Amino acid sequence: MTKRSKHERAQRVAETERVRQIEASWSASTPSAVVREFETAVRAARERGPLPPHPDMAPGTLPRPPRPGHEPKPPKDAARPRRGR
């Protein structure tokens, strides 16, 4: 667990309070229908939870498809006879 100084904890409490003030002033200046719609969207997103983790890949690689014309070759068929003399 990370230890926080009294100053850092006080800053976090002040930031949280400031965010609550900003949200309250926003909801007061916005039509109530818009505020209710926003709150239902937020509630639905919180109920949905976090996204599932991405598949395991090497660090730093992005899941990009190959460029057109650079697709990997299909595997060779073993049943196909070799042409020879």
DSSP string, 60-75: T----PPPTT-PPPPP
pLDDT band at 65 (very low <50, low <70, confident <90, very high): confident
Q: pTM value? A: 0.48
Q: How many CA atoms lie within 13 A of 61 on its CB side?
A: 9
**pLDDT value at position 44?**
96
**Burial letters 57-75, b for 16+ CB under 10 A, else e:** eeeeeeeeeeeeeeeeeee
Domain ranges across the chain: 6-48
pLDDT band at 70 (very low <50, low <70, confident <90, very high): confident
Q: Are 27 and 35 in contact (CB under 8 A)?
A: yes
**Helix, strand, coil % in the chain, rounded to nearest 5:** 50, 0, 50
**pLDDT value at position 79?**
75
C-alpha to C-alpha distance for 56 and 24, rounded to whole angstroms: 42
Of residues 83 and 18, the one with the higher pLDDT is 18
